[in-house]
A and B are shown apart, each in its own frame.
Chain A
Amino acid sequence: VGIFGNIQQQTFEVVYDVAGGKLGIGAGGCS
């Protein structure tokens, strides 16, 4: 299985809408 690691997630806003079955991604969430 491929794994999207935390280095590549840095500074993105990552939203887990587990109940809604979807993942949100937004650029520039933090520094």
Chain B
Amino acid sequence: KEIASESLTESTHFHTVPLTSLFPTTTHCHQPHTTHASKGLRRGASSLKVVHKHGGCSTTLPKGKAANTPTLTDILKQDESRVNSIHARVNSARIDNLNAVSGVRKKKIPDSKAAVPAKSGTTLGTGNYIVTVGLGTPKNTLTLVFDTGSDLTWTQCRPCVKSCYSQQESIFDPKLSTTYSNITCSAAACSGLTSATGNNPGCSSSTCVYGIQYGDSSFSVGFFAKDRLSLTATDAVDNFLFGCGQNNQGLFGNTAGLLGLGRDALSLVSQTAAKYGKYFSYCLPTKRGANGHLTFGKGAAAPGSLKFTPFATDQGASFYFIDVQAIAVGGKQLSISPVVFKSSGTIIDSGTVITRLPPAAYSALRSAFRQGMSKYPQAPGLSILDTCYDLSKYTTVSVPKISFVLNGGVTMDLPLVGILLGNGASQVCLAFAGNGDASD
């Protein structure tokens, strides 16, 4: 009876899997029988295929050595600089709000002090989910990172007046597009760049110039323009406002640029509000998954299990804020005061890789997880991940389940891919990190 109830607890509150399932030998692409689009999209919705940039399904980007695929340590390092820039942006926006409300001008952390300039735009290097779109007439195929943590869509443009990094597809050439035009400095859209990029626009022979800097000092500068953006073979957005980058440097991998999905007026979501009703959805596949999607408009009949949680109050910047209320590990809710989440706030971000938690929440999660994993030998930490195990001597592993409870009774039971991140069986880590300081 004892053993029976033990094993029952194991199965309900633990993921018990063969070790090999954590480290598939091949990164072949796992072609599913149904895709989101094939489930029958509602009229007026546009669905794009999403793949993991470094997985087995990204056909447009080279794989393996040719693509100098970043190591897990590289990705974690870039992720850290992205998070620093997000913290700087949120803090800067909160101070603005505070000053506006209190009338007292609270000192902003001078940019030089902030870990990174509190400008819009966040490190792109980690953005590892990509979609393929068409730009211009005739259509030029471009692979872009999609990012709910930034607003301005941009791509590299010929003649690359200053510099372009090497990208997989040929660089967009505005001269060859019959539907391309520059935005003038006097156009209202030009002044909209200040909120979308965090920088005031420039002006060069009456053409509006944008500049956006990313957390790891990557940047893109160029002409603000409009052209036809083809989201799918049949759906296009005319006069789409985007950045045509003449000087682009930094960690952008082989992608052609970025698709901004933030809440600013210049994001793709806002620019297509009339067509898609500011309603979009995605499913981020695992490295081998091939049926990820990014869908604009009310997509396929949403899976029955869909539950809604209200966005949290707007805390400035153009991020999507949510209310996390509790975390459970191995079926037990952690004793974390709700104030911890309330005071820090939480954003959901497709471009940040590792979830960051307020320090008090992370230490509670870590100690409960370590308790559930106590039978496995610990391994050295990996960059920002400080709870790792050497599982190389085991054929099956039992890992405590982790669930997040959001406002409105929405519970997310994380699959195993959302709990562990590994550098091989001898270093498998808890895929969470704590913010350095509650006031971060």
On whether the two chains bind one another, the answer is yes
Q: What is the interface residue range for chain A against chain B?
A: 20 to 34
289-337 of chain B: CB within 8 A of chain A: 289-293, 302-311, 315, 319-320, 322, 324
Chain A 1-31 interface mask (CB, 8 Å, partner B; 1/0): 1111111111111111111111111111111
What is the number of contacts between chain A and chain B, taking CB atoms within 8 Å? 186
Contact A11 B283 (CB under 8 A): yes
Partner of A31, one of B83, B290, B320, B406: B290
Contact A14 B348 (CB under 8 A): yes
Contact A26 B307 (CB under 8 A): yes
Contact B286 A11 (CB under 8 A): yes
Chain B 396-407 interface mask (CB, 8 Å, partner A; 1/0): 000000001010
Q: With A26-B306, A28-B305, A30-B289 as known contacts, state yes or no: A6 contacts B322, CB within 8 Å.
A: no
Q: How far is the CA of A2 from the CA of B413 in the complex (A)?
A: 18
Q: With A23-B309, A24-B308, A25-B306 as known contacts, state yes or no: A6 contacts B361, CB within 8 Å.
A: no
Q: How far is the CA of A8 from the CA of B413 in the complex (A)?
A: 10
Contact B303 A11 (CB under 8 A): no
A22 to chain B, nearest CB (A): 4
Complex contacts, A3 vs chain B, CB 8 Å = 83, 86, 346-349, 352, 355-356
Contact A7 B278 (CB under 8 A): no
Q: With A13-B302, A30-B283, A31-B30 as known contacts, state yes or no: A6 contacts B351, CB within 8 Å.
A: yes
Q: How far is the CA of A6 from the CA of B27 in the complex (A)?
A: 19
Contact A23 B290 (CB under 8 A): no
B196 to chain A, nearest CB (A): 16
Contact A2 B435 (CB under 8 A): yes
Contact A11 B263 (CB under 8 A): no
337-387 of chain B: CB within 8 A of chain A: 341, 344-358, 361
B interface list, Cβ under 8 A from A: 30, 32, 36, 79, 83, 86-87, 90, 128-129, 148, 261, 263, 269, 273, 277-286, 288-293, 302-311, 315, 319-320, 322, 324, 341, 344-358, 361, 404, 406, 410, 412-415, 417-418, 421, 431, 435, 440
* Given A4-B349, A15-B279, 6 new contacts (CB under 8 A): A10-B415, A11-B418, A18-B279, A22-B308, A29-B36, A30-B285
